[in-house]
Amino acid sequence: MHTVVVGTSGVSASDVLAVARGAARIELSEEALAALAAAREIVDALAAKPDPVYGVSTGFGALATRHISPELRAQLQRNIVRSHAAGMGPRVEREVVRALMFLRLKTVCSGHTGVRPEVARTMADVLNAGITPVVHEYGSLGCSGDLAPLSHCALTLMGEGEAEGPDGVVRPAGELLAAHGIQPVELREKEGLALLNGTDGMLGMLVMALADLDTLYKSADITAALSLEALLGTDKVLAPELHAIRPHPGQGAAAANMLAVLKGSQLTGHHQDDAPRVQDAYSVRCAPQVAGAGRDTMAHARLVAERELASAVDNPVVLPDGRVESNGNFHGAPVAYVLDFLAVAAADLGSIAERRTDRLLDKNRSHGLPPFLADDAGVDSGLMIAQYTQAALVSEMKRLAVPASADSIPSSAMQEDHVSMGWSAARKLRTAVDNLTRIIAIELYAATRALQLREGLSPAPASRAVIEAARAAGVQGPGPDRFLAPDLAAADAFVRGGHLVAAVESVTGPLR
């Protein structure tokens, strides 16, 4: 079983994916345990002094002016967890909660939070046991961290609230901990606050979205190439020398991927045949420019994610010289912005894919294909309503592209008077990525059917590999009308599982 070792210097995106989506076990390094113990000594020393220190011997947020006496501090830490576990709405996905907890553990192990080693060990034990706290959709403003989601996780560490066991059954958290031999933590000074104050939820969702989008952008290059081929378009616009004079890296990569898919095709270059046209439509000709811009947006988002993965986000923080200082590093703006940028790019990629699908179905623009790719147009409707579904998904993605980070609603009696809404940006991006998968699947379904309706000329070897793999996966080919939803579901699973990219790479080698 894969093991992820958490040290003091952060974690990688692959670590997050291994824990969130896989069964990776977590171990704490000796370095991390030593750093935890050293920082805790500083907090204990400050707690013993009469001077108030924020987060150690004071209230929180707008209540930070009250000095808390030693006998009430354990209650203070319990209370902040209980009161902040105020989420509502549907449950958040298991992988998101695991990423959320793992990334909080990453910051705890930095040695900047003042949390005791035994608390970090309990966090790792809960993850290793497959226990997943029940976290709700609403409750984070993306400032002072993902407060409500993290509070529900901290509540589980205390043996309170509800959690899902490894069998998928939701039970009282205390019962689950006991069943796995895990002792609930009794929080001390600073620890309740340290478990709540981070951008971990939005960061975890960013890391997973980037992994999914990496596959989807390659998939979109493939379906764009298949559509170009089915429309008898020209691949001359993909020539490397054309993209070298506008040297955006993502654009060059997308064009190279499309060229690799189209290599050996007998269908390209017929745009001057029976119905001459000077050039292909934008949705075909500009596919690398649109997909490339999205790729470059992903590169920026990946840079932000890497910086966050190496960060210790808490307030206050314990510094190496022994100071415990208040700060604003919990503000989610850096992550929120790129989450919104990615939703914009994904919406545009979905939009251009839908335009190509519509072109394949329109007999006036498809250059000889039957109306709606129907078997007997009029008797059969073909893929008419599949494009309706695709258009509905695109419309939804345009709404999801409206930035969450442009909004701010003040909270905590105006102490937290500007918030990032990064959690909301992450939640809508997850929906956008899900919809983009379906949109690309519908273009795949239409393009492969169109290629099979072109008689007399052979598609590229990579295209043939896609058709064969898709058909083997239950994505049906041309024929009379049938119940279409199962076919589209099969196409969705084919794209979602990475099988489309795998089919092409079996011929072309790795795509960019």
Nearest to 122 by CA among 55, 173, 69: 173
DSSP assignment letter at 182? P
> Can you tell me the distance from the alpha carbon of 167 to that of 243, in angstroms, rounded to the nearest whole number?
52
CA distances from 230 to 42, 140, 365, 445 (A): 68, 47, 12, 12
Contact partners, residue 97, CB within 8 Å, separation at least 6: 132, 133, 135, 149, 153
The catalytic residues are: 54
Bridge partners of 318? Answer: 324
For residue 411 the two structure tokens come to: 């909270």
| Residue with the two structure tokens 């984070």 | 140
> Can you tell me the distance from the alpha carbon of 434 to that of 428, in angstroms, rounded to the nearest whole number?
10
> Can you tell me the distance from the alpha carbon of 307 to that of 73, in angstroms, rounded to the nearest whole number?
34
For residue 294 the two structure tokens come to: 């999205």
CB burial class (10 A; 0-12, 13-18, 19+) of residue 162?
A: middle
| Residue with the two structure tokens 């929906």 | 431
Nearest to 300 by CA among 340, 242, 329: 340
> Can you tell me the distance from the alpha carbon of 468 to that of 149, in angstroms, rounded to the nearest whole number?
44
Residue 412's Cα: distance from chain center in Å? Answer: 29
Taking the chain, what is the end-to-end CA distance rounded to the nearest angstrom? 30
| Residue with the two structure tokens 């974690």 | 11
Output the CA torsion 371→352→502→12 (10° steps): -160
| β pairing state of 162-164 and 170-172 | antiparallel
For residue 453 the two structure tokens come to: 């309706």
CA distances from 273 to 276, 370, 454 (A): 6, 18, 14
> Can you tell me the distance from the alpha carbon of 49 to that of 31, in angstroms, rounded to the nearest whole number?
28
> Can you tell me the distance from the alpha carbon of 203 to that of 194, in angstroms, rounded to the nearest whole number?
17
User: Helical H runs in 318-421?
Assistant: 333-361, 384-400
